[in-house]
Amino acid sequence: MRAAVCRRYGPPEVVQLEELAAPTIQEGMDDRVLVRVRCASINPFDLHYRRGYLPVRFENGWTKPKQHVLGIDVAGTVEAVGQAVTRFKPGQAVFGHCLGSHAEFVRARESTLGQLPSNLDFEQAAVVPCAALTALQALRDVARVQPGHRVLISGASGGVGHFAVQLAHHFGAEVTAVTSTSNLAWVKALGADELYDYTRQDFTRNGGKYDVILVAAGRRSYFSSKRSLNERGIFISESPKPEYQLLQVAISALLGDQHPKMHLAQPNQKDIDLIRELLQAGRIKPVIEKVYPLAEIAAAHRHLETGRTKGKLAIAVQK
Ligand SMILES: NC(=O)c1ccc[n+]([C@@H]2O[C@H](COP(=O)([O-])OP(=O)(O)OC[C@H]3O[C@@H](n4cnc5c(N)ncnc54)[C@H](OP(=O)(O)O)[C@@H]3O)[C@@H](O)[C@H]2O)c1
């Protein structure tokens, strides 16, 4: 199979197309599903793994990566299933989370896949899982957003942010979105009640108090935002550096301050199914800035690396 392979840490050019043996479902992999990948997406996760960001090397190898094929979102058709799989059969269209979707075939766990929503094509479905699950779990589980809460999403035009705006609106919150000038109109259309253009205004200086501040993208610390939280306010940062989140939470906890919270998304069947229902009902929808063919994966890495992507980037793998 064709796969985008990363054999050393480094710049986007280290990712090269290679022919590899396709994965198979071997003994002991009874809950696995082999997916023929139609489309994938690219996430900041892929950039961290490709660059060999220090904490990644603990798990993925100090000098060179153990995981050669990146990609954690997938949409495609089921090619084969393990003996214990009950929800899927060959030929069925699916989407979800896996590791190694920048290739023509990938093996996923049954519990991290869902049926393809009937109103989405493979490209649209492939860009959803990681970003939407992250936004969902941050708002629902960590921030416990309730109807009427004032929720501010900074980085509202990015992968996580544009789902966060739609989900906060779905939960009945009053949504304030922070983005730059060229994104204001389409982010408003996602359900934002109020907008801040961060190139002209600083939301921490408007005197507003929020129940939740979710920094979905862009560098903004808890310490520079805390004046904008109300008494029970929760601050969550989807920082590219989890140790930076941890540091802010730890320092605050030492000072008796419980406002900032840690968050790491966990793919699971219940939430994939919920995301599918919300897509199917039109409550959330993905925005795709560009689709790259697998052969141009390095260009997709360069694009995401700018930190200016509008919504998501899709990777077209097979027709
Ligand atoms: N905790 C988890 O489990 C988890 C899971 C997934 C992702 N993440 C993390 O979440 C973060 C966001 O991921 P993503 O996929 O949403 O990133 P992304 O799509 O690359 O974010 C790009 C967006 O960020 C906006 N942005 C950049 N600087 C900004 C600023 N100063 N203020 C407001 N917006 C700004 C850009 O809008 P403009 O062009 O208008 O600047 C652009 O639309 C990453 O750090 C990622 O590592 C965490």
Q: What's the CA gap between 251 and 115, in Å, rounded? A: 43
pLDDT for res 152? 98
Measuring from atom 18 of ligand 1, which residue has the nearest CA? 158
Q: Looking at residue 218, what is its pLDDT?
A: 87
159-170 vs 129-137: helix crossing angle, rounded to 10: 50
Closest residue CA from atom 12 of ligand 1: 217
DSSP state, 107?
Answer: E
Residue 281 CB contacts under 8 Å (≥ 6 apart), including other chains: none
What is the number of the ligand 1 atom nearest to the C-alpha of 239?
Answer: 45
Task: Sort strands 73-81 and 32-41 into parallel, antiparallel or unpaired.
Answer: antiparallel
Q: What is the pLDDT of residue 244?
A: 80
| Ligand 1 lined by 124 (C-beta under 6 Å) | no
Cα of 263 vs centre of ligand 1, distance in Å, is 15
Rounded CA separation 301/304 (Å): 5
| Contact present, 106 and 71 (Cβ < 8 Å) | yes
83, burial (CB in 10 Å: exposed 0-12, middle 13-18, buried 19+): exposed
Q: Say if ligand 1 is within 6 A of residue 112 CB.
A: no
> Would you tell me how many other CB atoms lie within 10 Å of the CB of residue 104?
20
Tell me what pLDDT residue 206 has.
Answer: 86
Ligand 1 within 6 A of CB of 307: yes
Structure tokens at 145: 């957003």
Tell me the whole-structure pTM to 2 decimals. 0.97
Strand partners, 109: 32
Question: Which residues are registered as beta bridge partners of 39?
Answer: 75, 316
The interaxial angle of helices 297-305 and 44-51, nearest 10 deg, is 100
Which residue's CA is minimally distant from atom 22 of ligand 1? 158
Which pLDDT score, from 0 to 100, does residue 131 have?
Answer: 98
103 lines ligand 1 (CB under 6 A): no
pLDDT in tens, the chain (319 residues): 999 999 999 999 999 999 999 999 999 999 999 999 999 999 999 999 999 998 899 999 999 999 999 999 999 999 999 999 999 999 999 999 999 999 999 999 999 999 999 999 999 999 999 999 999 999 999 999 999 999 999 999 999 999 999 999 999 999 999 999 999 999 999 999 999 999 999 999 989 999 999 999 988 889 999 999 999 999 999 977 778 888 888 999 998 888 999 888 999 999 999 999 999 999 999 999 999 999 999 999 999 999 999 999 999 999 8
